[in-house]
Amino acid sequence: MDVCLASTSPARLMLMRQVGIEPRLASPGVDEEAAVEQREAELGRPLTPDEHVSFLAREKAKAVAVALADDFEGIVIGGDSMFELDGVVYGKPHTPENAIARWREMRGKTGTLHSGHCVIRVQDGSLTRAVHTASATVSFAADVTDDEIAAYVATGEPLNVAGAFTVDSLGAPFIERVEGDPSTVVGMSLSTIRRMVRELGVEWTSLWNRAS
């Protein structure tokens, strides 16, 4: 069965490839900030972290699934992540200054990575979906120095990832513990995606299409 990843994230693509899936790639083209603003206006309140990530995962997957529906049979996977520390929610830092400030705040602390997932099955032009969230806690080393933070941020790696860190690349040595599905922190919970795929009547192993 065909798989389309509604994401341009290299980390999510890497996860798919690691578990035997070579997906089609499609950029959702969703204005995330505007979409969240509109949803919060409709609700009359801010979205919780889990609501935020599940909403954006759904919007991304839906945008791609609708665009593909006429000539695609398979599943579309969308995801979104946010990092929560001391009750404050962080997305991507984008600038070195923001990333440095975040790391100085995070060292020695434990935060929660919230990950939203939406899987849509496209079959005979109709769409059925499953939406779930997953979370994992991340504990940062207390002895990370300012020089290490500056050097890490200078690589550019943390600028465009939720929370300004990775657990599968240069940021890994500064993280002491992860509790929960580790793939959640990389980009999406693979165990959660598997359960959702099965909810939609598809066997996970039928998605394997990548030569080992």
CATH number of the domain that residue 104 is part of = 3.90.950.10
Active site residue 80: yes
Tell me: pLDDT of 140 over 70: yes
**Burial class of residue 38 (count of CB atoms within 10 Å of its CB; 0-12, 13-18, 19+):** exposed
How many domains does the chain divide into?
A: 1
Closest of 189, 81, 74, 57 to residue 128, by C-alpha: 74
- How many whole angstroms separate alpha carbon 11 and alpha carbon 43? 32
Q: Quote the distance between the C-alpha of residue 1 and its chain's center.
A: 23
**Secondary structure letter of residue 169 according to DSSP:** S
Q: Is 3 in contact with 74 (CB distance < 8 Å)?
A: yes
- Domain assignment present for residue 27? The answer is yes
- How many whole angstroms separate alpha carbon 185 and alpha carbon 164? 11
- Domain assignment present for residue 53? The answer is yes
Q: Which two tokens stand for residue 182?
A: 């580790």
pLDDT digits (tens, 9 = 90+) for 145-177: 999 999 999 999 999 988 899 998 999 999 999
Q: Is 167 in contact with 182 (CB distance < 8 Å)?
A: yes
Catalytic residue among 80, 124, 143, 168: 80
Average pLDDT over residues 122-133: 94
Q: What is the pLDDT of residue 31?
A: 95
Q: Within 13 Å and on the Cβ side, how many CA atoms surround 89?
A: 12
- Domain assignment present for residue 212? The answer is no
- Domain assignment present for residue 189? The answer is yes
- How many whole angstroms separate alpha carbon 63 and alpha carbon 50? 20
- Domain assignment present for residue 102? The answer is yes
- How many whole angstroms separate alpha carbon 15 and alpha carbon 109? 27
pTM of the model: 0.91
- How many whole angstroms separate alpha carbon 8 and alpha carbon 14? 11
- Domain assignment present for residue 146? The answer is yes
Q: Which two tokens stand for residue 187?
A: 């980009």
- How many whole angstroms separate alpha carbon 158 and alpha carbon 126? 38
Boundaries of domain holding 190: 2-207
Tell me: pLDDT of 182 over 90: no
Average pLDDT over residues 117-143: 96
